[in-house]
Amino acid sequence: AAEFTMATTWQAVDPRTRDWDRELLAKVGVPVDRMAPIVQPGTHLGEYEGIPVIASVCHDTGAAVVGVPATTKNYAYLSSGTWSLLGLELDHAVINDAAYEANLTNEGGYGGTFRFLRNIMGMWLVQQCRVIWAEEGREYSYDDLVRIAEEAEPFQAVIDPDDASFFRSENMPQQLRDYLKRTGQTAPETDGGLVRTIYESLALKYSLVMRHLVDVSGQPVEQLHIIGGGSRNGLVCQMAANATGVPVVAGPAEATALGNAVVQFITHGDLANLAEARQMLAKSIDTTTYQPQNVDAWRTQVQRLADVIG
């Protein structure tokens, strides 16, 4: 069997029928009868030596979204790690020119839903700066990086985290300085200044992408749930609240594992449905809520980044 959330990432599924795109497969010479049947997450496939085998949510981000402790329909999620995946949970795929132009995609979710999202650069930039600084004799823990960023002057510069020049890392601090020079900006002089520029720019990019998601889907966002390892970074979570103008609920960090477990509990009948599961998660998991601050100042910086991107 081919589990739905994973199958949709292969670019061979018709989002409207939720089945293999027969016309597309025929054009590339793949016989449809060679493809395993698509099953929805939560399908009981059988047993192996007495152990139940369940097709859970096999895509890691799909599982993480199941683990979002959301209590409102109008929420966005941000799976934050090396990459940032920002999206909405919808009951249908959004397929139109506006979605294409905004580089938004539809990936399968639990219960026949779709994750309408965009991939954004994440903590990769900071991770690669940390490698270079360690080679230069300056060792920073991730807590150290947050501390020196907090101590740095705000809004010294902005970068587009998704600029192609950052995808390959040779000397990330220098690549950041080169980008800032190319865009007519002055680079921060300290390591903390560079880290703060990255953190701020990620939050600003989240705001821009969220605008696209809302505009194209028509679904408003009242709350942003940040899950994954990046949810432990309180500074970035606060910045995300400031930039987007909506409250941020941070946690759980291990949303993928929790989401996988939740689907199995539902399949076994231990939980009635996803709504009940999320109510349970909301009551039992420690989360931190960040309220937007200095929204006007951050709105100005969002426009600044939009102008730099062009």
Contacts for 123 with CB less than 8 Å, ≥ 6 apart? 80, 81, 82, 229, 230, 233
Among 21, 60, 91, 144, which one carries the catalytic annotation? Answer: 60
**Burial letters for 155-184: b for 16+ Cβ neighbours within 10 Å, e otherwise?**
ebbbbbbbbeebeeeeebbebbbebbeebe
Is 191 an annotated catalytic residue? no
Determine the angle formed by the axes of helices 255-268 and 274-284, rounding to 10 degrees.
130
Q: Which two tokens stand for residue 245?
A: 């103008």
**Alpha helix stretches (DSSP H) within the chain:** 4-7, 22-27, 60-66, 97-101, 124-135, 142-151, 172-182, 191-217, 234-244, 255-268, 274-284, 295-309
- Active site members: 60
